[in-house]
Structure 1
Amino acid sequence: MSRTLQRLVRTLLLFSLIGAIALSGFAVQAQRPNVVTMAFTQEPDSLNPMYTTQYFAGLARSLYLKGAWDFDDNLNPVPVLAAEIPSVENGGISADGRVITIRLRPDAKWSDGTPVTSDDFVFTAEMYASEKNSPLGRGVFSKSIGAVVTAPDPQTVVVTFPEPYAPWAANLFGAILPAHVLRPVFERDGTLDRAAWNTNPTVVNGPFLLKEYARGQFLLFERNPNYVGGVPKVEQILITIVPDEAAQVAAIKAGNSDLGIFLAPADALDLQGSAPVEIITVTSGYNEGWFFNLRTGENAGHPALQDVRVRRAISLAIDRPELIEGLLNNLQGPAVSFWDGTPYQDPTLQPPEYNPEKAAALLDEAGWTLGPDGIRAKDGVQLKLRYATNMRSLRRDAQQVIQQQLLRVGIATELINYENRQFLASYENEGPIARGLFDVAQWAISPQFPDPNTSRFLISEIGTAENNYVGANWSHVRDEELDALFAKQRTTVDFNERVAIFHQISRIVTEQVYWMPLWQDRDIWSIHKRLSNVRISGATAFWNVVDWEAR
Structure 2
Amino acid sequence: MQKIITTIITLALALGLASSVQAKRGSDGQLNLLYWQAPSTMNPNLSGGTKELEASSVVLEPLARYDEKGNMLAWLAEEIPTVENGGVSKDLTSITWKIKKGIKWSDGSALTADDAVFTYEYCTNPDTGCTSTNYYKDIQSVKAIGSNTVKIQFTVPKPFPYATFVGYNSPILQKAQFDGCQGAKAQECTKQNFYPIGTGPFKVVDFKPNDVIVFEANPNYRDASKPAFNKLVFKGGGDATSAARAVLETGEMDYAWNLQVEPEILSKMAQAGKGTVVSAFGTAVERLMVNFTNPSPALGEDRSEYIGGNNNRNAHPFLSDYNVRRALSLAIDRQILVDAGYGQAGKISCNVLPAPAIYASTANDECKAQNIAEANRLLDAAGWKRGSDGIRQKGG
- Please give the TM-score of this superposition, normalised by the length of structure 1: 0.53
Change (3 A) 1:193 1:290: farther
Larger radius of gyration: 2
Task: Report the Cα distance in structure 2 between the residues aligned to 1:278 and 1:190, rounded to whole angstroms.
Answer: 46
* Rounded Cα–Cα distance in structure 1 between residues aligned with 2:366 and 2:39: 33
Residue equivalent to 1:275: 273
Conserved in 2, the CA contact under 8 Å of 1:48 and 1:197? no
- 2:234 is matched with which residue: 220, 234, 239? 239
Q: What do the CA deviations read for 1:272-291 (whole angstroms, capped 9, x no partner)?
A: 54334444443422222134
2 CA distance for matches of 1:235 and 1:335? 39
- Asked if the contact 1:181/1:203 (under 8 Å) is kept, the reply is yes
Show the counterpart of 1:349.
364
> What is the number of residues matched between the two proteins?
340
Q: The residue matched to 1:184 in structure 2 has which SS?
A: coil
Structure-2 residue corresponding to 1:56: 51
Query: Does the aligned pair in 2 maintain the 1:39–1:241 contact within 8 Å?
Result: yes
Q: Please give the secondary structure, in 2, of the residue aligned with 1:57.
A: helix
Residue 104 of structure 1, CA deviation: 1.1
Q: Which residue of 2 aligns with 1:153?
A: 146
1:370 is displaced (CA, Å) by 12
Aligned to 1:196: 190
Cα deviation code 1:433-481 (max 9, x no counterpart): xxxxxxxxxxxxxxxxxxxxxxxxxxxxxxxxxxxxxxxxxxxxxxxxx
Secondary structure at 1:132's aligned position in 2?
coil
Q: Which among 253, 260, 263 is matched to residue 259 of structure 2?
A: 263
Q: 2:118 aligns with which of 120, 123, 126?
A: 123
Pick from 66, 72, 77: which aligns with 2:61?
Answer: 66
- Decide whether the 8 Å contact of 2:251 with 2:275 is kept in 1: no
Aligned to 2:343: 329
What is the match of residue 206 of structure 1?
200
Supply the distance in 1 between the matched residues of 2:176 and 2:94 (Cα, whole angstroms).
27
Q: Contact between 2:60 and 2:199, CA under 8 Å: does it hold in 1?
A: yes
Deviation at 1:347, TM superposition (A): 2.6
Paired letter, 1:211 = V
For structure 2, the 5+ residue unaligned runs are 1-26, 295-300, 307-313
Cα 1:273–1:348 shift into 2, 3 Å: same
Q: Over residues 238-276 of structure 1, what are the superposed CA-to-partner deviations in whole Å (9 max), with x where a residue is unaligned?
A: 111132111111110222221232234726644554334
User: Could you tell me which amino acid in structure 1 is paired with residue 364 of structure 2?
Assistant: L
Which residue in 2 is equivalent to 1:168? 161
Q: Which residue of 1 aligns with 2:3?
A: none
What SS does the aligned partner of 1:347 have? coil
TM-superposed deviation, 1:217: 2.4
**Shift of residue 177 of structure 1?**
1.5
> Could you say which residue in structure 2 is the equivalent of 1:218?
212
Aligned to 1:184: 180
| 1:183-230 deviation per Cα after TM superposition (whole angstroms, max 9, x unaligned) | 2122xx645244325741342222111111223321111111122344
- 2:42 maps to 47
More helix, by proportion:
1
What is the identity, as a one-letter code, of the residue corresponding to 1:308? S
Root-mean-square deviation (CA), in Å? 4.0
Matches within 5 A, 1:443-482: none
**Contact conserved, 1:109 with 1:227, CA < 8 A, in 2?**
yes
Distance in 2 between residues matched to 1:147 and 1:223, nearest whole Å = 38
Matches within 5 A, 1:374-393: none
Distance 1:229 1:351, change over 3 A: farther
CA distance in 2, matches of 1:258, 1:225: 24
One-letter identity of the residue aligned with 1:84: E
Distance 1:122 1:277 in 2: 45
Structure 2 match to 1:308: 320
| Per-residue deviation, 1:138 | 1.4
CA distance in structure 2 between the partners assigned to 1:123 and 1:176 by the alignment: 9
Report the counterpart of residue 74 of structure 2 in structure 1: 79
**Offset from partner CA, 1:303-331 (integer Å, 9 cap, x none):** 99684247667646643222112222365
- Per-residue CA deviation, residues 74-118 of structure 1 (Å, 9 max, x unaligned), is 443333321233244543233333322111123222222332111
Q: Which runs of 5+ in 1 are unaligned?
A: 1-31, 377-551
For 1:89-108, what aligned pairs fall within 5 Å after superposition? Answer: 89-108=84-103
Q: Distance in 1 between matches of 2:246 and 2:212?
A: 14
The equivalent of 2:309 in structure 1 is none
Structure 2 counterpart of 1:289, from 283, 287, 309: 287
SS at match of 2:341: helix
Contact 1:101–1:159, Cα closer than 8 Å, also in 2: yes
Distance across 1 between alignment mates of 2:214 and 2:208: 9
Question: Retained in 1: the 8 A contact 2:39–2:211?
Answer: no
Classify the secondary structure of the residue corresponding to 1:192: helix
* Percent identity between the two aligned chains: 24
CA contact (8 A) 1:320 1:334 kept: yes
Distance 1:312 1:191, change over 3 A: farther
| TM-score, with structure 2 as normaliser | 0.71
Deviation at 1:153, TM superposition (A): 1.1
Shift of 1:336: 0.5
Q: Secondary structure at the match of 1:288?
A: coil
Question: What secondary structure, in the 3-state scheme, does the structure 2 residue paired with 1:150 have?
Answer: strand
